[in-house]
């Protein structure tokens, strides 16, 4: 399923989209979104993206068993499994898509009620800053964007 298919599906009018990268902040965003979905009856789409690594003019050595799509799928399944422990009545839709997370998530935000993302902080000062994907999505999403920090005050 593509993000365009998901955005145009009339059965998913109450969609909350969550960007999942495996970070504690993205897990906190998923937990928050699942709590909101439990209150509103919305469906939670959990999206992980992947891209083939590329080098700038240099050959990139990729192991023969490297499968970024499978790794992203595993990440989404594990995140949903964890979220279901606290939110068993919520409908989760796992989505794994090839592409850069910024553009995939903005596309997925079409027709959604909310896009929930984790912030990406490094240290005390960095914790106040947004990651590049979060900043891009916050400026371009087609719906409201919630940025969730992990940890105290998040």
From first to last of its 154 residues, the chain has per-residue pLDDT tens of: 454 554 454 444 499 999 999 999 999 999 999 999 999 999 999 999 998 766 666 666 777 777 889 999 999 999 999 999 999 999 999 999 999 999 999 999 999 999 999 987 444 444 444 568 999 999 999 999 999 987 655 4
The CATH number of whichever domain residue 95 belongs to comes to 3.40.50.620
Q: Output the pLDDT for position 123.
A: 42
Is residue 7 in some structural domain?
Answer: no
Per-residue model confidence (pLDDT) at position 67: 84
Q: Which domain holds residue 134?
A: 13-148
How far is the C-alpha of 125 from the C-alpha of 146, rounded, in Å? 20
pLDDT computed for residue 125 by the predictor: 45
- For residue 8, is it within any domain? no
| 51 domain residue, yes or no | yes
Distance from C-alpha of 120 to C-alpha of 127, rounded to nearest angstrom: 7
Question: What would the two tokens of residue 5 be?
Answer: 């298919």
Burial class (CB in 10 A: 0-12, 13-18, 19+), 146: middle
On whether residue 122 sits in a domain, the answer given is yes
Distance CA 90, CA 8 (A): 21
CA dist., res. 134 & res. 102, Å (int): 8
Tell whether 70 is covered by a domain.
yes
pLDDT of 68 reads 84
- Residue keyed to tokens 């969550």: 18
């Amino acid at each position: 399923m593509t993000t365009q298919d998901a955005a145009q599906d009339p059965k998913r009018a109450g969609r909350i989209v969550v960007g999942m990268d495996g970070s504690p902040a993205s897990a906190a965003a998923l937990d928050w979104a699942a709590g909101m979905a439990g209150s509103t009856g919305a469906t939670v789409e959990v999206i992980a993206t992947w891209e083939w690594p590329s080098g700038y003019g240099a050959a990139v050595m990729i192991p023969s068993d490297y499968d970024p799509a499978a790794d992203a799928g595993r990440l989404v399944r594990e995140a949903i499994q964890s979220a279901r422990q606290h939110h068993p009545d919520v409908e989760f839709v796992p989505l794994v898509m090839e592409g850069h997370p910024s553009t995939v998530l903005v596309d997925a935000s079409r027709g959604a009620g909310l896009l929930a993302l984790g912030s990406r902080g490094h240290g005390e000062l960095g914790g106040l800053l947004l990651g590049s994907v979060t900043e891009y999505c916050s400026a371009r999403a087609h719906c409201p964007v919630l940025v969730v920090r992990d940890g105290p005050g998040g």
